[in-house]
């Protein structure tokens, strides 16, 4: 199926005989169960509708037809024996709501893999409207302060350039993981040095200051782990590194942040 779809240009429909053959194979696989957030407002056409579900990474289209679907009771997990109940539930869904569905896979006339819904279960309501599906969140202040909203908006955004916010998070995590593996493969030992220190040392920057009540002393959020790492080298470690947070009570810019992750190795 993937081969057939990959050969289609935009707006091109797959040959009916190939589509029918694929649908026979897909139907033989049995039913599938998926859950996700409505990535776009439902596209209703009379007594049937198409909509995409998103898990934050990928999307899959579902097809709901009034006479084919039944609703699931959230309390019991049993089918609600009431004609049209599933369609009534579906009609109340909004962009951003979560649903679970069960049905069989098929390929539409446009060549898109979809789920023909036989069972529909409402899972959770989006209490606030979703951001603009075309442009996401434009205000950089909101994006920085409300990352959860930015993650949702970015995953649901139809048109975008570059990576989604989630992909940026994942790329960062993979980069850090690769750095750790590289250093460990070359004999470095990862250590953790104090975050709160009695003196502000490590770099020429203004520190964050706090007070330890039990000891009645002032402490400083570390600027850099340099001196503690060098003490470990003096103590006998040949190769040490730390990949952790550091703090500097200074200005803000796209390149400078009061709290940041830094790698330091000796």
Q: Is residue 26 situated within a structural domain?
A: yes
Highest-scoring range by mean pLDDT, 2-6, 79-83, 95-99, 191-195:
191-195
Q: Which two tokens stand for residue 162?
A: 């570059």
Please write the tens of the pLDDT for every residue from 24-35. 888 889 999 999
| CA 137 to chain centroid | 16
Q: What is the C-alpha to C-alpha distance for residues 181 and 214, in angstroms, rounded to an integer?
A: 39
Count of the separate structural domains present in the chain: 2
CATH code (residue 73): 2.40.50.140
Q: What percent of the chain is predicted at pLDDT more than 90?
A: 47
Residue 28 CA to residue 105 CA, distance in Å, equals: 9
Which of 76, 104, 124 is where one domain is finished?
Answer: 124
- Mean pLDDT, residues 191-203: 90
Domain's final residue, options 101, 124, 147 = 124
Report pLDDT for 10. 55
- Tell which of 90, 107, 124 closes a domain: 124
Average pLDDT over residues 141-150: 86
Distance CA 99, CA 91 (A): 12
Whole-angstrom Cα Rg for the chain: 27
156-180 in b/e form (b: 16+ CB < 10 A) is bbeeeeeebbeeeeeeeeeeeeeee
Beta carbons of 53 and 39 less than 8 angstroms apart: yes
Residue 54 has pLDDT above 50, yes or no: yes
Beta-strand pair 70-71/113-124 = parallel
Provide the residue range defining the domain that includes 86.
2-124
Contact between 66 and 87 under an 8 Å Cβ cutoff? The reply is yes
């Amino acid at each position: 199926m993937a081969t057939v779809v990959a050969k289609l240009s935009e707006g091109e429909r797959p040959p009916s005989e190939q589509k029918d053959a694929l649908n026979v194979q897909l139907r033989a696989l049995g039913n599938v169960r998926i859950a996700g957030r409505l990535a776009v407002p439902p596209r209703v056409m009379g007594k049937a509708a198409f909509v995409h579900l998103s898990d934050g990474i990928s999307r899959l289209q579902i097809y709901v037809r009034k006479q084919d679907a039944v609703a699931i009771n959230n309390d019991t997990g049993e089918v609600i024996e009431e004609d049209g109940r599933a369609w009534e539930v579906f009609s109340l869904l909004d962009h951003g709501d979560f649903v679970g569905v069960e049905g069989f896979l098929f390929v539409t006339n446009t060549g898109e893999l979809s789920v023909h819904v036989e069972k529909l279960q409402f899972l959770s309501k989006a209490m606030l409207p979703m951001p603009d599906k075309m442009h996401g969140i434009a205000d950089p202040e909101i994006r920085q302060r409300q990352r959860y909203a930015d993650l949702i908006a970015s995953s649901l955004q139809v048109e975008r350039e570059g990576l989604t916010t989630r992909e940026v998070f994942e790329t960062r995590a993979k980069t850090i993981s690769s750095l750790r593996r590289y250093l460990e493969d070359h004999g470095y030992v990862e250590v953790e040095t104090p975050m709160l220190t009695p003196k502000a040392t490590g770099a020429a920057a203004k520190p964050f200051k706090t007070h330890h009540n039990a000891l009645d002393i002032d402490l400083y959020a570390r600027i850099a782990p340099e001196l503690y790492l060098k003490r470990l080298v003096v103590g006998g470690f040949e190769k040490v590194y730390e990949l952790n947070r550091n703090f500097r009570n200074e200005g803000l810019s796209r390149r400078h942040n009061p709290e940041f992750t830094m790698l330091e190795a000796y």
